[in-house]
Amino acid sequence: MREAYRDLTRRERQIMDSVYQRGSATAAEVLEDLPEPPSYSAVRAMLRKLQDKGYLTSVQDGPRYLYSAVIPRDEARESALHRLVRTFFDGSRAKAVAALLDPDEGALSAEEMRELEELIRRQKEGK
């Protein structure tokens, strides 16, 4: 699996998030989604750069280009999460979970507890 998002800047990640959220997007649509948006031409340049890096593909739709992600969102999310665990928790998933369960961050809902219990049960059973 490719190490998704490895070499992206903050702005490039924001652009990818916009494309993922919309499924596919034009430069104008991406521009609408960006906080403190740069110029339209800067967004077009970043979209081309993301395409050159292999993160986006595009098709011409009349006078505009429609951009779509090459890597499925789940794969990109999984890769980013693994990198976060490696970087901030010494590769320990247990330390990452412990940080999420910190009582200072607020209590988990009953539904979140059930979900976690089910995940742990399935892990124990090897599923």
10-69 CATH fold:
Arc Repressor Mutant, subunit A (1.10.10)
- Give the pair of three-digit tokens for residue 61: 């739709």
Percent of the chain with pLDDT over 90: 44
Percent of the chain with pLDDT over 70: 89
Q: Comparing C-alpha atoms, which of 29, 4, 74, 80 is closest to residue 15?
A: 29
Please give the pLDDT value at position 88. Answer: 85
Domain spans of the chain, in order of start: 10-69, 73-124
Q: Between 4 and 39, whose confidence is greater? A: 39
Q: What is the mean pLDDT of residues 90-110?
A: 82
Cα distances from 7 to residues 32, 83, 84, 111, 114, in angstroms, run 24, 12, 14, 36, 36
pLDDT-based confidence at residue 13 (cuts at 50, 70, 90): confident
- Is the pLDDT at 110 greater than 90? The verdict is no
Q: Is the pTM of this model over 0.85?
A: no
pLDDT-based confidence at residue 76 (cuts at 50, 70, 90): low
Please give the pLDDT value at position 52. Answer: 93
Q: What is the mean pLDDT of residues 47-65?
A: 94
Please give the pLDDT value at position 5. Answer: 57
Strands (E), 3-126: 56-61, 64-69
